[in-house]
């Protein structure tokens, strides 16, 4: 069980990570939208790892755990609501409760519960500690994806919000601008991989898998998607 995170790649992380290998010794790996790091934690062999996400509370959590912080094993609904209303008292805790203790891993999208009384906080804590054990030397940044420093000849992985969906700020993500930027990286000597359902001309799918996603806790809104991994065809 991985840290609950909307759009997370826990079910396909191993398969995706097999494509993200260093082309030579001393190479750098850069993730532009690292999320809960389920893919990134499986990657090995890179001298440098730069993991970025625009969500400040998520990065606060990852940095804190990297420095030794252990999230709580229990978060009550009352505590969840208090943390939600006072996010800046302890940003790392807000990052944890906002994702691990929310339905479907959606940022403060409602306190997670099910009929069996599952302890989502404890599951999230255990999975996060396991994930971060493999990222002790990673550098976490909290930047717009276009501002992330990228060393020469890097392997770049991007898992952006799906086209025509909203990002953390509830603003529609500009997929067209993203693909232009991704292409510019590829044309400047980086090996660029993108997780998406579709891509513009010039990008080739090197892997794909059907997945099912749910929009509510009653499992009434289930829909199928085909997750693909693209590279730029120079």
Question: Tokens 């060393």, residue?
Answer: 151
The rounded Cα 69 to chain-centroid distance in angstroms is 20
CATH code for residues 8-54+143-234 = 3.40.50.150
- Delimit the CATH 3.40.50.150 region(s) of the chain: 8-54+143-234
Query: Looking at the predicted structure, is the pLDDT value of residue 178 above 90?
Result: yes
pLDDT for position 129: 97
Q: Spell out the residues 6+ positions from residue 19 whose beta carbon is closer than 8 angstroms to its own.
A: 193, 206, 207, 229
What is the model's pLDDT at position 170?
62
- Is residue 57 within 8 Å of residue 95, measured between CB atoms? yes
pTM of the predicted structure, to 2 decimals: 0.91
Q: Taking 70 as the threshold, does the pLDDT of residue 115 lie above it?
A: yes
Please tell me the predicted confidence (pLDDT) of residue 104: 87
Cα 91 to Cα 73: distance, rounded to the nearest angstrom: 17
Question: H-helix or E-strand containing 212?
Answer: strand 203-214
Using DSSP's 3-state secondary structure scheme, residue 102 falls into strand
State the average pLDDT for the chain: 91
Name the percent of the chain lying above pLDDT 90.
82
- Report the pLDDT averaged over residues 3-26: 84
């Amino acid at each position: 069980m991985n840290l609950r995170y909307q759009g997370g790649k826990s079910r396909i992380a191993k398969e995706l990570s097999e494509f993200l290998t260093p082309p030579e010794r001393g190479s750098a790996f850069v993730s532009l939208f690292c999320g809960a790091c389920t893919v990134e934690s499986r990657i090995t062999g890179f001298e440098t790892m730069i993991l970025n996400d625009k969500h400040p509370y998520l990065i606060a959590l990852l940095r804190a755990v990297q420095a030794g912080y252990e999230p709580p094993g229990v978060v009550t609904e009352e505590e969840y609501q208090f943390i939600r209303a006072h996010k800046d008292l302890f940003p790392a805790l807000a990052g944890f409760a906002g994702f691990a203790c929310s339905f479907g891993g959606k940022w403060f999208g409602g306190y997670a519960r099910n009929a069996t009384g599952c302890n989502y906080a404890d599951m999230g804590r255990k999975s996060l500690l396991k994930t971060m054990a493999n990222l002790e030397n990673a550098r976490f940044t909290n930047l717009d994806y276009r501002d992330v420093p990228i060393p020469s000849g890097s392997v770049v992985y991007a898992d952006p919000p799906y086209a025509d969906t909203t990002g953390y700020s509830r603003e529609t993500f500009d997929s067209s601008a993203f693909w232009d930027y991704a292409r510019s990286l590829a044309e400047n000597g980086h090996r660029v991989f993108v997780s998406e359902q579709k891509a513009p001309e010039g990008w080739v799918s090197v892997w794909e898998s059907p997945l099912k996603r749910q929009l509510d806790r009653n499992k009434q809104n289930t829909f199928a998607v085909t997750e693909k991994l693209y590279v730029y065809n120079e």
